[in-house]
Amino acid sequence: MSLNTLEEIASYIVSGGKGILAADESNPTCGKRFDSIGVESNENNRRDYREMLFRSSGMKDNIGGVILFDETIRQNAKDGTPLVDIISNQGALPGIKVDKGLQPFGDLDETVTVGLDGLDERLKEYVSLGAKFTKWRAVIKIGDGMPTQECIDANMKALADYAKIVQDNGMVPMVEPEVLMDGSHSIEDCYDASDRSLKSLFKHLADNEVNIKGTILKPNMVTSGSNSNQQADIDEVARKTLDCLIANVPPELPGITFLSGGQSDILATAHLDAMNKIGGFEWKLSFSYGRALQAAALKAWGGKPENMFISQDALSHRAKMNKLASLGDWDQGLEDD
């Protein structure tokens, strides 16, 4: 694969309905996922699980990029093959999470993502390890008095600073402003927080002269809070999400790849499909799911090597369903019962 420019890399990742497998859980987060199936989270188990995912047949044709955690980009498979080579051989590009997590911000329960210190040096190493794109996640909370504009702006400025440094190192930055689903807020509150975040993000990206054609946006969908007793239906989520994106995202951005954020795997597919069936935008609208791609595979695996094939089938199935949804061709009744 010879992809020379940022534009070519970004476009390749989302070409033909492909999306991204987010497998960049930090060790504590991976620990929580493994706890749910009674498996110890140690280096070997994390390697075995991810090697199994990356060798799944459904990676081919459906997955254009895989986001890795620092530990994983350095790991070899059991037979000694670097995991990044397994990913590349499946036709996907290796990516790397480069932020250093969240720090408290201001007087409310808000956070700002950190990791700019030493980023340039770390990126140079990741390039040498084969990374073609990167991810930085900002977290915006909805609640009493939140989000504050100060918190939004601090996070979006950090995202834009990160994006510029990444492009200067020849990789595609994925910018992830995640408005959390946690809470009992309405879908209108989520629209407002998402709208303010995207406005601030694209202003700061322009201020930094970030090349939008060599950038991927990883946003939340506009949904009701997960504890709200008024859950918006699929059509409303699709329409409000599209309205918010169309109002804020330049058409030349090559790809928008959603996070799943705690949605069930079928719902994450259904929302994506509904948006692509509505249409009316120029970017590719695809997925960068963690839980919504992995949940069934993790459960099927249960830490037992003899479950490898059913686990890989589960990942392959979800990858295929989400590719169909990225093309607006998913049909739950026919294909996903």
Query: Which DSSP category does 214 fall into?
Result: G
What are the residues whose beta carbons fall under 8 Å from the beta carbon of 60, sequence distance 6 or more?
A: 90, 91
Cβ atoms of 71 and 27 closer than 8 Å: yes
**By beta-carbon distance, which residue lies closest to ligand 13P?**
290
Tell me, yes or no, if 176 is annotated catalytic: yes
Closer to ligand 13P by CB, 35 or 168: give it: 35
The answer to whether residue 223 forms part of the interface with ligand 13P (CB under 6 A) is no
Closer to ligand 13P by CB, 152 or 180: give it: 180
The answer to whether residue 269 forms part of the interface with ligand 13P (CB under 6 A) is no
Q: Among 55-63, 194-202, 253-261, 302-310, which window interacts with ligand 13P (CB under 6 A)?
A: 253-261
Antiparallel, parallel or unpaired: β 93-97 and 133-140: parallel
Q: Where are the beta strands (DSSP E) in the chain?
A: 19-23, 63-68, 93-97, 102-105, 110-113, 133-140, 172-179, 216-217, 255-258, 284-289
* Binding track, positions 119-158, relative to ligand 13P; x by CB under 6 A: ------------------x---------------------
What are the residues whose beta carbons fall under 8 Å from the beta carbon of 31, sequence distance 6 or more?
A: 41
* Rounded Cα distance, 249 and 256, in Å: 9
Phi and psi at residue 21, in whole multiples of 5°?
Answer: -90, 115
Phi and psi at residue 112, in whole multiples of 5°?
Answer: -125, 140
The answer to whether residue 290 forms part of the interface with ligand 13P (CB under 6 A) is yes
The answer to whether residue 259 forms part of the interface with ligand 13P (CB under 6 A) is yes
The only residue of 54, 105, 162, 289 in contact with ligand 13P, by rule CB under 6 A: 289
The only residue of 9, 13, 21, 22 in contact with ligand 13P, by rule CB under 6 A: 22
Residues labelled catalytic: 176, 218
Residues near ligand 13P (CB under 6 A) are 22, 137, 176, 259-261, 289-292
